[in-house]
Amino acid sequence: MDIIIQISVAVIAIAFVVLLYFLVQAVKTLTSTLEETRKTIGQLRAEVTQISVDVKEAVHNTNVMTQDVRSKLKSLDVIFTSVNDIGHAIHSFTGAAKESAASITAKLRRDRIAPATAKEPSVLSVIYDGIISSVRIWNKVKKI
């Protein structure tokens, strides 16, 4: 019976040694993996630091560009206001010119309806033709 106990103890000892061997191998693998992970995390920290510096610089440049664009747009506001005022002035002028032309044409039509005694065209009919032609040209230019 002593031999069975001794063989059993020997088998247990061998199993324990084998178990320790595989346990040591697992710990070595785990250690190398942890070391590699530590290196990777260190590299990531350096890269994140660099990226954060780049992002801060990009945000700063964006803010500078935004301020520049805003100042330029403010300077353009004056120009657009002036263009708007010029447009209103031209619109008023053309409206007045149309009214004058319409009243002159109406007067000339009334004068033309009256029978003319002279055979040569009068000064009024020449003016009337000129105004009518101007109004037609104006309407064509306006359509373009």
pLDDT tens, position by position, 57-99:
999 999 999 999 998 888 888 888 888 888 887 887 787 777 7
Token couple for 50:
């660099």
* pLDDT tens, position by position, 6-47: 999 999 999 999 999 999 999 999 999 999 999 999 999 989
Closest CA to 107 of 123, 88, 128: 128
How many structural domains comprise the chain? 1
- Whole-model pTM over 0.95: no
**Cα–Cα distance between 117 and 143 in angstroms, integer?**
39
What's the domain range around 62? 2-143
